[in-house]
Homo-oligomer: A and B are copies of this chain.
Amino acid sequence: MNTPLKGACVIGQSGGPTSVINASAYGVIRTALDNENITAVYGAAHGIKGVLADQLYDMSQESADELHLLLNTPSSALGSCRYKIADPDVDDTDYKRIQEVFEKHNVRYFFYNGGNDSMDTCNKISRYFAKSGYECRVMGVPKTIDNDLFGTDHCPGFASAAKYVATSLMEVYRDARVYDTGQITIVEVMGRHAGWLTAASALASHFDCGPDLIYVPEVAFDMEQFLTDVTAIYKKNGYALVAVSEGIHDKDGKLIAEYGGGPEASRDAFGHAQLGGLAATLAAIVKEKTGTKVRGIELSLLQRAAAHLASQTDIDESFLSGKTAVEAAVAGESGKMVGFERDMSSGKYVCKTVLLPLEKVANFEKKLPLEWITPEGNNITKEFIDYALPLIQGEPNRALQESLPRFANLKKVLVK
C-alpha cells in the first residue's frame, strides 16, 4: 500500500463549476507531471463520462505556460458532467467499463474534482476497485461554491464566490439607494440547501453596504413575516436590500421560487430542482403587496464564474488541495478527500490540509450552523464574518490581454 505505484493518472472535473476549480485541477496536473512515479497525466473529457467514453486528453501535450493560466481560468477546463453513477452492488456496468479503460491506459491514480455528488461517485469507484482488486488509488479533490462538503472547514470555490457576492452587494447597495424615491432590491444567490454563499452577503453589511435582511434555506421562510420585515425597513429608511438563497422554502418545504404560480421547476439528473427566478417571483409579490418600486436581481452564473474577483487565498488553497491529493496518493493513500482544517493558534488564519475518508464525506451536506443565523431567521451573526473574512483575502494576479481576461486555452489532444 505505501509503495508508490507506477502508472498513469486521470483527473476529472464534475458538477457545477467554480471560478477556481481549475486551480485545483492545475494542482493535480502540475504535481503529477512533475512526479516520477506518474507515467502519464490524462484529463477526462467531461468527468466520468470521458472515462466511460475513453476520451482522455494528454496533459503532457499542453504548454507549461498555458497550464499555469488555469490558476485564473473559471469553469471546468476539462469539461464537466452531471452523471449519476449506479450503486456498484446493483449495477456494475459502468465500473467494469471504467476499470477496462483504466487497465488499457495503465491508470493507477484517479483524482475527481467536484462537490457532493462527485465525492459520491469517487467513493463508489474506490469501493468497486477495492472489491475488484484493481490497484488504483482514488482521491477526491473538493470544489463547491455551496461550501457544503462534510468534514472540511471550508471548500475551494466558496471563498471566491463569497467575495463576488459581497463585492457585488456592496456595489448594488450604493446603486439601489441612489434615488430619493425609494426602492426595495432583492438579490438571489445560489444555494439549494445550504445558505453559506447567501450568508456571504453579510460581509457587505459588515462594512455598512449590505443587505438589511438575509434568508437562507436552513430556516423556513415565512412570507407574511418577510413582508412585515421588509416593509418596516422600507418605511424607516426608504430603501431595503434583501439577499435570498435560491433554495428558500416555506415550513411545508415548498420552494418560494414556485410561489409565482409558474410551472414546477424542472429537475436535473440528480433530482435537484433547476432553480432560478426566485428574485423575480419575490419582487413581484413585494411589489403587489407594498406598491413600492422593487427590483429583483439574480446573480446567476456570474457568481460562480467571476475569476476576476477570486480570492487569492482560495486560489492558493485550491492548488494546494490538488497537489496534496497527488502527493498523498503517491504516498499510498486512497479513498480520501482532501479537506481543510483552520489553525488559528498563531493568532492569524492558517489553513492545513487533512485527508477525510470519502464514505464520511459522500452525500452528507454541511449546513450553515443555526447559531450563525439570528433568532428572527432573517440575518447572519458576527460568527460567520469571523469565519469567512480570512477566506476571501488577496487579489488574484491574473493575466490580461488588452485589459480583458487571458484564460487558458488547452489543446486537448486525445490519447489514442
Residues of A within 8 A of B (CB): 17, 19, 45-46, 49, 73-76, 79-82, 163, 166-168, 170-172, 174-176, 178-181, 185, 203-204, 207-209, 276-277, 280, 295, 297-302, 304-309, 311, 389, 392-395, 400-407, 409
Contact = CB atoms under 8 A, between A and B. Distances in A.
Nearest to A298: B298
A167 B174 CA distance: 22
A82 to B, nearest CB: 7
A321 B407 CA distance: 34
Contact of A301 (B175, B306, B395): B175
Contact of A280 (B49, B178, B280): B280
A301 B297 contact: yes
Contacts of A409: 208
Given A209-B405, A393-B402, 5 more contacts: A76-B178, A79-B180, A82-B181, A280-B280, A297-B302
A165 to B, nearest CB: 11
Number of copies: 2
Contacts of A306: 168, 171
B302 A180 contact: no
Nearest to A408: B174
A201 to B, nearest CB: 12
A404 B46 contact: no
A401 B301 contact: no
A406 B174 CA distance: 12
12 contacts: A49-B180, A73-B174, A76-B178, A82-B181, A163-B404, A167-B404, A168-B305, A170-B407, A176-B301, A207-B404, A308-B309, A389-B402
